[in-house]
Structure 1
Amino acid sequence: MTSTSEDRCLYCDPDGYQCNEPQTDSGLCYWHDPMIIKNNKDDVKNLEAHAKNGGMLRGISLKNADLSGIDLVNHHHKNGYDLSHADLYRANLSGAHLFSINFEHASLMKANLTNTNLHCANLKNCNLLGCIWNNTKIKKLNIGDKLVQEVQAKKAVKDFDLVLAHDLYEQSEEIYRDLRKHSEREGIFTLSGRFIQKELTMRRYQMPKPSIARLMSKIVDLFCGYGEEPLRVVKFSILLIFICALLYFFTGIRIDGEPFYFQSGDSLLVNLEHFLTCLYYSVVTFTTLGYGEITPIGISRAIAATEAFTGSFTIALFVVVFVKKMTR
């Protein structure tokens, strides 16, 4: 039964949602009172009933609660229960059924998620530091584009608090590493690929700025997404071939002793033919085929040497990245 405004729970979450449950001596209801540890034998059953009866779950305090085996699946409804802003620090959720649950802005810090069903759960901006992921079901898990620690770290950088930023990036790396290892154990390699990219990105942010190590890490990320995006290698190859073709077009190449390059006096069709010839030469140089019927002249020699070296490296990189992806 809904309480009157005088004796209802005083909890109001950051989004303006208010609880209508009866308040205790603390002014908060049983579920929102952080001083009450929910590990009584009837708490699991009572919380399930509270959820089924439409009770407010947003912001409830379940710190250190023993909720093993709890069923918080909103059966016969499209959306799961909403536990936004809930505090589940060190909660025991082993064997819990939490399909499609909403933990946005909640805290699962050091929560035990062993054998927990988190399929389709929303964990955007949720604190996942130190979670125990043993055999947790995480298909279609949504953790958002950034962890809450990432957002806080970027703010710390803007505030010139580099010590705090380093600590938060270290926490982010740990979370992504745990998620990556667990998704690999579960055989969800697409998800693990995303997590390893984020893990290595967080590690890069901890490196001194500027530094050679950080620069090299950024280059590897740009080239191939830390080995997870072979299409980046293909895109870079096409861009390099086109740029080099333009450079040959203006610096010149020689065919049968006759130079080919852009001349303003020539017609558009002739210049187009020259450019396509330069594009062909760029392709054979990048792939190190080197048929020999076309030779560079002047500064084009340096461009050709650079393109040939870069091309051989890039092709090898693509093979490594592609094989890595396919074997997973």
Structure 2
Amino acid sequence: MDETRTACCYQEIEGHCCNEPAGPSGLCYWHDPAIIKNHPDDREKFEQFARNGGMLRGVSLRRANFEGIDLVKHHSKTSFDMSHADLYRANLSGAHMFNLRLAQANLMKADLRDANLHRAGLHSANLLGIKWNGAKIENIQVGHELKQEQMAHEAERLGETEIARDYFEQAEEIYRDLRKAAEREGLFGMSGQYIRHELTMRRRQMPRFSIARGVSKLIDLFCGYGEAPLRVIGFSGVLILICAVCYCFTGLNYDGQLLVFEPTNSPAENLSLFFNCLYYSVVTFTTLGYGDFTPVGISRAIAALEAFSGSFTIALFVVVFVKKMTR
């Protein structure tokens, strides 16, 4: 009498399921977390399993020794999908993982040294403690937020501040490791993005209403922690416009005549006034000081504040711009 073999019971809410023969646990060899895949021929068998169209989503490769494995779908525009896979402490050093999809996978403490992860999709994956030395990470996709960030925001929503702080600390560590890996590969643009995320995660660990957190937030808004020179330009433009409007209402002196906004003036006169104030604001911000317009009353305080902010902002822009261009 032939023994009927049942299919693997692995199934996802999205409808993905595995049709491989099930073992005693009800799961197939590759989806069974109780089986450690470190036999000498497991790497070749898994490669063949992938090439034959096997279900790679959710496979359990905890502590697997897959050094140098080839998981690239050659001669195809698509890639293998290993979303939800468990690769905890897996040895994937030297692996070929170009364009591999690893969304929501567990890569905690995996060994990815010298692996090629170019264009790999790592959205919402657990990247804590990965060994990145020598890994090719150009154009990897980690998503807008790390898994730990998402969990931290959820903990904050529930009022669990200590748990949220712990997740933010883990996210900071992940971004720091990614930044160092990018720097080693000479990917300084990517490194700049990661250092901004790293410092943002550090800020989120600070007390909500502390001075340190407020200063950190201002630095981020002002120049993106030194990685966004365009933010400095944007801030300069906004400050110049705000001060120009203030000069319209507080008044400027031009050749003994007071120029100030009056509702009774014609629209053309008020528009001319605004452009004169805008001109004076630019001159004051850049500390040129031609002297054709002079502030009066409250305008003096505004001009002094704008001149101080302008000199500081211009110096900061030069520093940030040179930093970006020389890396």
Same fold (TM over 0.5): yes
Aligned residue for 1:75? Answer: 74
Which residue is equivalent to 1:265?
264
Provide the residue aligned with 1:169 in structure 2.
Answer: 168
How far apart are residue 269 of structure 1 and its match?
A: 1.4
Name the aligned partner's letter for residue 318 of structure 2: V
Q: Supply the AA of the counterpart residue of 1:9.
A: C
Measure, in 1, the Cα distance between the counterparts of 2:89 and 2:13: 23
Q: Map of 1:90-129 to 2, 5 A cutoff?
A: 90-129=89-128
Cα distance in structure 1, aligned partners of 2:317 and 2:43: 53
Identity percentage of aligned residues: 60
Residue 212 of structure 1 is matched in structure 2 by 211
Matches within 5 A, 1:1-328: 7-328=6-327
Per the normalisation by structure 1, the TM-score is 0.97
Matched residues in 1 for 2:15 and 2:315: separation?
A: 56
SS in 2 for 1:300: helix
Segment of structure 1 superposing worse, 12-21 or 203-212: 12-21
State the 1:135 CA deviation: 0.4
Where does structure 1 lack aligned partners over 5 or more consecutive residues? none
Name the amino acid aligned to 1:7. T
1:29 Cα deviation after fit: 0.2
Q: For each residue in 1:144-166, what CA deviation from the matched residue of structure 2 results, as whole angstroms up to 9, or x when unmatched?
A: 00000000000000111111101
Separation in 2 of the partners of 1:7 and 1:238?
68
* SS at 1:254 equivalent: strand
Which runs of no fewer than 5 residues in structure 2 stay unpaired? Answer: none
Cα deviation, residue 16, structure 1 = 2.5
The two structures, once aligned, show a CA RMSD in angstroms of 1.1
Give the distance between the partners of 2:78 and 2:171, measured in 1 at CA: 28
Query: What's the CA shift string for 1:278-299, capped at 9, x where partnerless?
Result: 1111011111111122111111
* Structure 1 residue runs of 4 or more that deviate by more than 2 Å after TM superposition: 13-16
Distance 2:242 2:125 in 1: 44
Instruction: Give the drift of 1:176.
Output: 0.2
Residue 253 of structure 2 aligns to a residue whose secondary structure is strand
What do the CA deviations read for 1:39-96 (whole angstroms, capped 9, x no partner)? 0011001000000000000000000000001111111111210000000000000111
Q: Distance in 1 between matches of 2:301 and 2:72?
A: 65
Q: CA deviation at 1:119?
A: 0.6
Secondary structure of 2:87's aligned partner: coil
Contact 1:125 1:143 in 2 (8 A): yes
- Structure 2 distance, partners of 1:115, 1:141, is 15
Q: Which TM-score applies when normalising by structure 2?
A: 0.98
**How many angstroms apart in 1 are the aligned matches of 2:315 and 2:14?**
52
State the SS of the aligned residue for 1:192: helix
Residue 14 (structure 1) shift: 3.9
Which amino acid counterpart does residue 260 of structure 1 have in structure 2?
L
> 1:261 Cα deviation (Å)?
1.1
> Which whole-Å CA distance do the structure 1 matches of 2:103 and 2:183 have between them?
24
How has the CA–CA distance of structure 1 residues 112 and 200 changed in structure 2, closer, same or farther, with 3 Å as cutoff? same
Pairwise CA distance, 1:237? 0.4
Deviations 1:243-285 (A, max 9, x none): 1001101110001111001112222212111111111110111
**Between 298-307 and 194-203, the greater mean CA deviation after superposition:** 298-307
CA contact (8 A) 1:13 1:58 kept: no
- Are the equivalent residues in 2 in contact too, given 1:13–1:85 (CA < 8 A)? no
What is the CA–CA distance in structure 1 between the aligned matches of 2:272 and 2:69, rounded to whole Å? 72
Query: Offset at 1:169?
Result: 0.2
How far has the Cα of 1:211 moved from its partner?
0.6
SS at match of 2:150: helix
Give the letter for the 1:227 counterpart: G
SS for the counterpart of 1:118 is coil
Aligned mates of 1:173, 1:140 — CA distance in 2: 20
In 2, Cα distance between the equivalents of 1:193 and 1:80?
29
What secondary structure does 1:116 align onto? coil
SS in 2 for 1:181: helix
Amino acid at match of 2:215: M
